[in-house]
Structure 1
């Protein structure tokens, strides 16, 4: 069997620590002094005209936290704890519940449940079995195999709410395939396109499903709390999944043009080898049966949320459904996990709580609106046609990953800013923020832009230049498709 790449460890398939570049090392050293200086300057400068004192203090704390989140001289959850402590202490919020109450937000519970459901999928081996079965059943040719791998990524997005977890499920299977096909790293176009489309499919599928990553969940929290939206699981799915599928289909065929498979001919006996891998999993285990039952039940509840009140007299919200699914995974005899096996990333929970705290402080103090008002004036956006503003925001959001490598940090910075921008311009903030949020998972341009990129890049099958070429095309097409959906599809589904 093919060895798992160095970026994917055998003990739990976790990515190994990434080596920091010189730029990142310098940023890390300068992060704390830059954050302190910037925060103090903003805190003690004369209050600008039209800005409240609370807004000034909220902006100061947000700026300091933002610098620390980007440069990471300390873990991001520590920065959030500091921000939560400082907001009420310095008077940036009148009620400390605005800061300390964020850990009890419903979206935090949704994130906790997502981690539990992910752990159940991995422990049960259900994701690996599904992937191997689909390839052996439908992947009769190289192109069909590539298409099946893309479909598997999209299917897994519904059940595995972690981009990294899906990558660590898929990469070993891709390596098995490429070994069977005798595809050499760095030389085989099949290897290049398979791994690059793995990166793409992971990112685009994540865009299509609200619970596929914590960044989407955080974005929905901002849209519903600050923009007055009512976006749920099915709203996100209906809005984003069609754009993700269209973009993936277009770029799938472009990839076959960029990396021709004409000279690839070693495809014999592939099916038999993959069938052997599937046989090694044995018959369906009890854990797999439990996992598939729980996942199907959870997805049915999510899919029927708009009809439950008419059918049964009450409705399960997106968060309640996720918590119920997590509960079923943990219940004795019924479930398949112990609490120690849930692998909940509490540091991400704390980070999200701090992100909400500073975001809400900026919103309630009108600090975000003041900043956006100045930006609008400086860029002349207020003179722009609203349709052009939509397009500019989508493209800015799409390519913002070139600056901010963390999806959650980008969401925290940009979504509240775009909501404030829409309010300032008299636009509906919900479709603008939702369209921007749909671009946040397109972190596909360079290996360091996400852990998924690093995992696939670590296989050695594609170069940085290969990734840049394919990603530039994908991001441009994705932004165009989402922009078009804003003016057409969003209106059809009532957003």
Structure 2
């Protein structure tokens, strides 16, 4: 055991040392024609961060904190203050607010109640039972992080499954996991899960429900701007690099159609072709879900206040994106005050962000939770600060690549041969590349690396798309960010995949069989769907 730990530590140090060597080689190599020295240093920093993010040698957030240090050390930025500005990006505070709202929903089990209600109402057959779990998971994942949603839904799904398939298969896997040395379990949950899974035969219903839970959490996160880290990375970097802002309502018009179309398709393939349930009667499962829901009792007064605050916040997020429709019926000053603009607001000064700007709405929800006596500060700050820091490091790196001309040079050098290719081919290559990369590492790390590059090269396709350079960059980068949530084959690809695999009730080969098939299908579906949205929906909402 000790030797294994030492070996792991030595491997980590070796990979880190090789990363430093590679970074130094890139930084000291002859500067290519057309690329500035600062741009070369930005690429060296990208190599450093990319390798560490992909290999997981350091936690993602720790690597992100290294980025401003390295950029300042190379002289890409003259001082550290400039390198740290990405960590104060306003969209980061939107996600802080979203995480805190999610904590409030979880404290009062509002998310759990929604999921159980759907299962008790919709789970009238084995396939519908799986579908109800997937619908509940996807809906919650739009508002609560997909990681937290999968962590909450997995034990619910397992509890309901015991009423259908019995305890034998589940207990066999659990017993194997319990027999493993505690130290090994602490150091390698994935290995424990794999070992446990090997001892049990799992029914198709069990496999389809667990995989459906993971896949629905990933797909559902695409629906809203706060649903998954790739969405946040895209929005923050578009704002930082292009000065372009995707509003909350705008993203709904992009994300919701993708969820509505792809989620039923995933469910259909899982339950009709890949792992069709072999059990006919699931009435006991519905009764179990109903019993769970009854055990929750009625929602407390504080819980109802949280539900109201959340509903109002979500409603204002949507309303704030409808300024073009509502403003003509308002006076100029009121329209500027509510939706933002350059004119005079009701407060007098000219120029206003807008009270309904979605970041301001999200931040206002936090004092509302405190004033309503529903959340304490210690409960609010118990959020995923590592992801927040990752956003900041990604923004700092993307800004350095853009400000030094590195992404523009990359676009001219590497992607110029594709600029005249059919747009469907370009989207297909982008989707396939991102899904493949995401299978090798987390979707968050993939997005942090690939999104700024897609923003940089997107302008080169402006003529092909018949769009401005900014619109073309938005289109290509958005395609990549969406694809990052559709890697289904390996546990490492997304946190929901890792969570259901880590439960110990699923074999890796079962995930790979379903995931590879779905990756192939979704590459084709997303390519066509993104192209259709681009042709008929995006022109009205994105530019």
TM-score over 0.5 for the alignment?
yes
Q: Does 1:371 align with 2:410?
A: yes
Q: What SS does structure 1 have at the residue aligned with 2:244?
A: coil
Alpha-carbon contact 1:111-1:214 (below 8 Å) kept: no
**Shift of residue 124 of structure 1?**
0.9
1:200 paired residue number? 215
**Shift of residue 388 of structure 1?**
1.9
1:14 paired residue number? none
Structure 1 residues 167, 431: CA separation in 2 closer, same or farther (over 3 Å shift)? Answer: same
- Kindly provide the CA deviation profile for residues 442-481 of structure 1, in whole angstroms up to 9, marking residues without a partner as x: 2321123233212212334432222112212322332223
Structure 1 residues 425, 285: CA separation in 2 closer, same or farther (over 3 Å shift)? Answer: same
2:448 paired residue number? 412
Count how many residue pairs are aligned between Structure 1 and Structure 2.
Answer: 470
Alpha-carbon contact 2:64-2:393 (below 8 Å) kept: yes
Alpha-carbon contact 2:438-2:493 (below 8 Å) kept: yes
- Kindly provide the CA deviation profile for residues 330-360 of structure 1, in whole angstroms up to 9, marking residues without a partner as x: x23x141111112123233222212211111
More displaced, 140-149 or 259-268? 259-268
Q: Does 1:464 align with 2:500?
A: no
**Shift of residue 96 of structure 1?**
4.5
**Shift of residue 324 of structure 1?**
1.8
2:375 to 312, 337, 362: 337
2: CA distance between counterparts of 1:402 and 1:459?
20
**Shift of residue 46 of structure 1?**
2.2
Q: Does 1:152 align with 2:136?
A: yes
- Kindly provide the CA deviation profile for residues 227-281 of structure 1, in whole angstroms up to 9, marking residues without a partner as x: 4533111222211221222122122112122355563145343333332222211
1:351 paired residue number? 390
Q: Does 1:189 align with 2:204?
A: yes
1:12 paired residue number? none
Q: Does 1:242 align with 2:257?
A: yes
User: With structure 1 as the length reference, what TM-score do the two structures score?
Assistant: 0.88
Q: What SS does structure 1 have at the residue aligned with 2:415?
A: helix
- Kindly provide the CA deviation profile for residues 397-445 of structure 1, in whole angstroms up to 9, marking residues without a partner as x: 2222122x22222111101111112223445111111111111122321
Structure 1 residues 262, 50: CA separation in 2 closer, same or farther (over 3 Å shift)? Answer: closer
Q: How does 1:56-71 map to 2 (within 5 A)?
A: 56-71=40-55
2: CA distance between counterparts of 1:58 and 1:268?
59
2: CA distance between counterparts of 1:165 and 1:277?
19
2:238 paired residue number? 223
Q: Does 1:164 align with 2:179?
A: no
Q: What SS does structure 1 have at the residue aligned with 2:226?
A: helix
Which of 1 and 2 has greater Rg? 2
2:427 to 390, 415, 418: 390
1:399 paired residue number? 436
- Kindly provide the CA deviation profile for residues 344-380 of structure 1, in whole angstroms up to 9, marking residues without a partner as x: 2323322221221111101110112223333225xx4
Indicate the RMSD between aligned Cα atoms, in angstroms. 2.5
Structure 1 residues 306, 73: CA separation in 2 closer, same or farther (over 3 Å shift)? Answer: closer
Unaligned 5+ runs, structure 2: 171-200, 340-355, 464-471
Q: Does 1:431 align with 2:475?
A: yes
**Shift of residue 52 of structure 1?**
0.9
